[in-house]
Amino acid sequence: MLVNRAGFPINLEVIYYSMILNKDSLIERIVRTKIGISELSRILHVSRTSIYNWFEQEYLSIEIVCKIGHAIGHDFANEFPEEFAKAENRIMADLITGNLDQQQHYDNSVQYWMSKYITLLEKHNDLLSQVSNQPGDIGIPGKMISGTKNTGQHFSPLTH
């Protein structure tokens, strides 16, 4: 049995239903009538190569198709009604049965990454404090003046 990184079982049927057959490069043709590939890559924050690779794949994940559709202002549910209906049923079933991967939602949340950033910042400031307390301190540009709290005051030898 396959499991995801949080230890929940992966339903291969769900993965199958989450894929859309890119028949006759339909997705690419629709994209090219609405927007250039370079512009799409900027909107989606992916390389043009990634987009070209997506277009060459026989099957695309419904998530990628939705992202592309949102970026170009197109509803691909008109071209792939059966696939979107299956995906909607899967999502509703997950909501009803509570099979949503809470860890994945937490990992992607702003709170999670903000907490990670603050922890890293505190470790960085602790390291700077240790370095500044060593003999022969030469003054590190951008070093915090007081302790490990972020007061916004920085020491710079160029301004003192």
> Hey, where are the domains in the chain?
12-101, 110-152
Mean pLDDT (the chain, rounded): 73
What is the C-alpha separation between 68 and 160, in angstroms, rounded? 52
Q: pTM score, two decimals?
A: 0.47
User: Tokens 């609405």, residue?
Assistant: 34
First-residue to last-residue Cα distance in the chain: 64
84 token code pair:
């979107």
DSSP secondary structure of 15-55: HHHTEEE-GGGHHHHHHHHHS-HHHHHHHHTS-HHHHHHHH
CATH (residue range 12-101) = 1.10.260
pLDDT band at 43 (very low <50, low <70, confident <90, very high): very high
pLDDT in tens, 7-26: 555 454 444 446 777 777 88
The whole-number pLDDT of residue 65 equals 86
Maximum mean pLDDT: which of 91-95, 132-136, 154-158: 132-136
Is 90 exceeded by the pLDDT of residue 39?
yes
What is the C-alpha separation between 40 and 154, in angstroms, rounded? 41
Is 70 exceeded by the pLDDT of residue 106?
no
What is the C-alpha separation between 157 and 141, in angstroms, rounded? 6
The whole-number pLDDT of residue 15 equals 44
The whole-number pLDDT of residue 12 equals 43
The sign of the dihedral angle between the CA atoms of 49, 50, 51, 54 is positive
pLDDT in tens, 112-131: 777 788 889 899 988 888 88
